[in-house]
Amino acid sequence: MNVGVIYACLLALGVVYALAAGALGWMSDLGGHDIGIGAGGHLDVGHFHPVSGTTIATFITGFGGGGVVGHYLLRWPLLRGLLLASSSGLALAAAAYLVLEVIFKQTQAGEEHPMSEALGREAEIITAIPAGGVGEVAYLIRGKREQAPARSAGDGAVPRGRPVVIEKVTGNMVYVRPKD
């Protein structure tokens, strides 16, 4: 098989993948972010991983495109064409990685807050807390309504709709007392 045909097929494969991914939402996973609770109890979203489906597909597209340019337009020998294809693929994959990393950081920037910011806030019981059990509260933080599992700081049950104050935070669990 002619090397130019291989380059063209890789370019076509990358373009078809991008179109299908855009139409079907395959790329919405952003290639695998790690999500967990970081130091200080805040949401730690992690970073976009450089080796992901998105960057690999972008590399294949760039590799094919660079190879087509080197082979058909510049009429370079195989080794120079492979060098151009490889550098094109790496450059496009790196650009895709950087763009997605910036986009992800920007869209998540307003979402993160340390759970410690919930301390002392007024909240409302949205799922009753049974004696010794777990319910759920809703509270406002940074202008956004948040929800968290909750336990009573005392021994008794707390009914739904009751205003409370968040007295303690352990992990993502809040401990509440009735508002005076």
Task: Give the residue extent of every domain in the chain.
Answer: 3-108, 115-178
23 band by pLDDT with thresholds 50, 70 and 90: confident
Q: Can you tell me the distance from the alpha carbon of 121 to that of 113, in angstroms, rounded to the nearest whole number?
A: 14
Residue 8, φ and ψ in degrees, nearest 5: -65, -40
Is residue 81 within a helix (H) or strand (E), and if so which, with residue range?
helix 78-108
Three-state secondary-structure class, residue 145: strand
Q: Report the CATH fold assignment for 115-178.
A: OB fold (Dihydrolipoamide Acetyltransferase, E2P) (2.40.50)
Q: pTM, whole model, 2 decimals?
A: 0.52
Buried b (16+ CB within 10 A) or exposed e, 145-168: ebebebbbbeeeebeeebebbbee
pLDDT in tens, 63-96: 999 999 999 999 999 999 999 999 999 999 999 8
**Both ends of the chain: CA-CA distance in Å?**
80
